[in-house]
Chains A and B, each alone.
Chain A
Amino acid sequence: MPRRIAIVGSAQSKFKSKLADQHYGELIYKAVMKALEDTGIGIEDIDTVVSASCDMLDGRSISNVFVAEAMGAFLKEETKVEEDGSFAAVYTFMRLLSGAFDTAMIVAYSKGSESHPHFYTGLQTDPHFLRPLDLDDLTVGALQANVYMNRYGVTGEQCAKVAVKNRKNGSKNPYAVLRKEVSLDEVMKSPVLASPIRELEAYPVTDGVCVVIMAAEEKAKKMTGAPAWITGAGHIMDGFYPGHRDLAELKGLRKAAGDAYRAAGIKNPLGQIDVAEVSESFAYQELMICEALGLCGPGEGGKLIDGGKTEMGGALPVNPSGGALCANPFMATGLVRIAEAALQVSGMAGERQVPGAKTALAHGSSGLGLMANAVVILSKD
């Protein structure tokens, strides 16, 4: 790579299912100010601002129009990626790599409470073939879960264990929406939303903002003593129609991870990565994501969680933050993963810190049934 880029700071809202007392402009402004203050810099130190948001979530066209000022983008080089925030981070990484900018701020946000997941995700279907089926992320997720579980014999309990693990982790994350531990029995007895997905295996509607600050080497070293270097990144989009895809395999994610691993020199992900933060909207997805990331073989996600490798204290803890099952601010979820992964390699993750984490992986996703995926590798060195 032509130059080294690091994450030097971040901020998250204290996510809630409904932040009715704050306009999203306010939420953005507060998170931006916190990120700048914590990094010890001013807005004048930021060369470019890249945001991620969605018109249909905000209920208004060109969602960045009225929040450019709150983001500190007034008379700055600015742009918007209308994908999950992890894609905005990958694009920002490219802008810095090019040498055109030395510092950048990425802002991703949504107020899920002012929309409805069914509309936001359901309207992603095309008007001719899928829309009449009234699909959304939950129903496509349920179809995917069934294909996956049936093909490999992954059980409902194994999926439920992801929820138990992540909710336990989330209880220690001050930014998570859901901070109460749940037992396997509680998950298995929770109502079915769309078979086989149960209520406690699904994400909470979430309001909030995530901000990440990136800088090129020279400035990064001045801004922080613990930069999280970006050593690899990749993003791939799979096919649109769920029926055209092999739903049990995240082929696109496998390729995106391959690109990121190649750049970062990772040949044995389970051995070389210390911690992963992934975007699992539903419990079963974490198992599929782990497989596609090469943490285990195809169909072995169930065994992976049974063996405890992905728990805190395991060989490769997945989602110490509690993941998307504890807070899922659409558009910001993947950026939160990146922020959390950066905190891990910087040794600043507080109670959810994985001791000695040197290399971290962050994953973000857009589209129904994990259609488009981004992977970022962060390293202490």
Chain B
Amino acid sequence: MRRAAVVGVGQTECKTRNLDVTFPGLVHLAVTRALEDAGLTIGDVDAVVFGSSPEYFEGVNHPEFWCGEASGGYMKPQMRIHTGGTVGASTGIAAFYHVASGMYDTVLAVTADKLSEGVVQLGLSTVYDPIFGRQFACGAPSAVAIQSRWYMHKYGATEEHSALIAVTNRLNAVKNPYSHLKIPNISVEMVMKSPYISEPIRLLDACPASDGACAMVFQEEKKAEKTCKKPAWVHAVSAVAEGVGYVDRDWAIPLALNKAAKKVYHEAGIANPFKELDVVEMYEAFTYQEMIWMEGMFLCEEGTAMKLIEKGAHEMTGELPINPSGGVLSTNTIGASAMQRQAEAALQVMGKAGEHQIDGVRRGIAHGWGGGIQFHTLMILGDEKP
């Protein structure tokens, strides 16, 4: 396969309500920053891949057309990817395949959502089946509450474990200039005292709804080496689907993530991911998912993630830092969230993560989930050519 690398990353500051900018404006800001970061202009870009999540969020169908000039896709090949929560990652992966196919050398991927312009949980409740599901449609928190409770019941994880995860992510977010929710004085006690929004998920166990955008520039090998002194090479990608409503589904074991993880580790030649990966950026919109995804991507044995959390292995100074950026728990635009994971992993590999940089990152992994908690994406990025 043709090699491809990330040579530029652009993010917008994320907040509850970005009143001074339109949805295309957000897209444009991220694109401009990604091109500046790469030292390229839109004229260097051969194709654009656009991603955003349900169009009910902004109330505009096919928003890629409305944003077409802002994304730089005007009179270029541009298509929109939309896979729910994974869309940011699916868009980055699509940009990778655009390059790997040999059809395009420089591909811009951009994702965004302006969640303040819609009612997010209403939009997410329409995921539920109109005949069998709408009566109890309950947005995302209640669905993940069921998953969390399932995991706690199965393995004995507690609300304290969840609070530890919240604290780590929220402390990390303070160092990330683009993150939305910053609570520098966060403590386990504060998390445990926050009200339930859907048991066992408390307010501080949950992500905010953010306005924001993220863009990445992918290039083929020769151009990437010219553009960037230290590009982040794409070592492996995967996006796997699972079913959603089948009877025997075990919500604590993400089969799609298992399958995706096996594929990317195999392709990247990784035998012991916990040892061989230097940083993880994962999509946990709610704290408990961090433990489920850790096990799902084989960072530890089934039911043992809580021990790593107790040890602090996931902290900035731990054995395998998870979400130095503060993660989705601190910033959730939905549309851009899974791309921000890839972008942050790339920044870590490129050594450009600023205050939340982990020393000596050689290889990082970015994760996304979406749909009825059944789509999972992974991308491994490294400082050496694959």
Contacts and interface: CB of A to CB of B under 8 A. Distances in A.
B118 to A, nearest CB: 11
Contacts of B128: 60
A237 B64 CA distance: 10
Contacts of B64: 82-83, 237
B239 A78 contact: yes
Given A60-B126, A61-B54, A68-B243, A2 B75 contact: no
Contacts of B76: 236-237
A363 interface: no
Nearest to A368: B65
A214 to B, nearest CB: 13
B235 to A, nearest CB: 13
B240 A236 contact: no
Interface string B198-233: 000000000000000000000000000000000000
B77 interface: yes
A83 B79 contact: yes
Given A81-B79, A235-B79, A237-B74, A66 B54 contact: no
Nearest to A101: B97
A62 to B, nearest CB: 4
A94 B79 CA distance: 13
Contacts of A61: 53-54, 56, 84, 123-124, 126-127
Contacts of A240: 65-66, 68-69
A49 to B, nearest CB: 8
A301 to B, nearest CB: 22
Contact of A366 (B1, B60, B62, B241): B62
A320 interface: no
B237 to A, nearest CB: 8
Interface stretch (A69-77, A180-188, A264-272): A69-77
Given A68-B244, A367-B65, A252 B75 contact: yes
Given A68-B241, A239-B69, A79 B61 contact: no
A80 interface: yes
Contacts of A252: 75
B66 A235 contact: no
B312 interface: no
Contacts of B65: 124, 237, 240, 366-368, 371-372
A98 interface: yes
A7 interface: no
Contacts of A49: 241
A189 B77 CA distance: 40
A60 B77 CA distance: 28
Given A1-B102, A98-B2, A62 B80 contact: no
Interface in A80-97: 80-83, 87, 90-91, 93-95, 97
Contacts of A128: 22
A59 interface: yes
Contacts of A56: 55-56, 61
A76 B75 contact: no
B77 A238 contact: no
By size class, the interface of chain A is 35 or more
A160 to B, nearest CB: 30
B256 A99 contact: no
Interface stretch (B315-323, B348-356, B370-378): B370-378
Given A62-B127, A68-B243, A94-B101, A79 B81 contact: yes
Contact of A74 (B66, B81, B242, B370): B242
Contacts of B83: 62, 64, 79-80
B152 interface: no
A24 B44 CA distance: 42
Interface residues of B, number: 61
B300 to A, nearest CB: 22
Interface string B138-175: 00000000000000000000000000000000000000
B296 to A, nearest CB: 13
B62 A367 contact: yes
A236 B75 contact: yes
A238 B75 contact: yes
A95 B245 CA distance: 29
Contact of A80 (B55, B60, B81, B255): B81
Interface string A138-167: 000000000000000000000000000000
B202 to A, nearest CB: 25
Given A94-B101, A237-B76, A79 B59 contact: no
A357 interface: no
B20 interface: no
A65 B372 contact: yes
B75 A79 contact: no
B35 interface: no
A143 B323 CA distance: 51
A14 interface: no
Interface string B313-352: 0000000000000000000000000000000000000000
A126 interface: yes
B112 to A, nearest CB: 14
B241 A76 contact: yes
B73 interface: yes
Given A62-B127, A93-B101, A372-B78, A76 B240 contact: yes
B1 A65 contact: no
B129 interface: yes
A132 interface: no
27 contacts: A55-B126, A60-B127, A61-B53, A61-B123, A61-B124, A61-B127, A62-B82, A64-B241, A64-B371, A66-B245, A73-B241, A75-B242, A81-B82, A82-B82, A91-B94, A94-B101, A98-B97, A98-B100, A100-B1, A123-B55, A124-B65, A233-B103, A237-B73, A237-B76, A240-B68, A252-B75, A259-B77
Interface of A: 1-2, 49, 54-56, 59-62, 64-66, 68-69, 73-83, 87, 90-91, 93-95, 97-100, 120-121, 123-128, 233-240, 251-252, 255-256, 259, 366-368, 371-372
Interface of B: 1-2, 22, 53-56, 59-62, 64-66, 68-69, 73-84, 90, 93-94, 97-98, 100-103, 123-124, 126-130, 238-246, 255-256, 259, 370-372, 374-375
**10 closest residue pairs by CB, A with B:** A98-B100, A61-B54, A94-B101, A78-B241, A62-B84, A97-B101, A82-B82, A123-B61, A237-B78, A65-B371
Given A56-B55, A61-B54, 17 more contacts: A62-B371, A65-B244, A66-B244, A66-B245, A68-B242, A75-B255, A76-B240, A81-B79, A81-B81, A81-B82, A94-B103, A95-B101, A100-B1, A124-B60, A127-B60, A240-B68, A372-B65
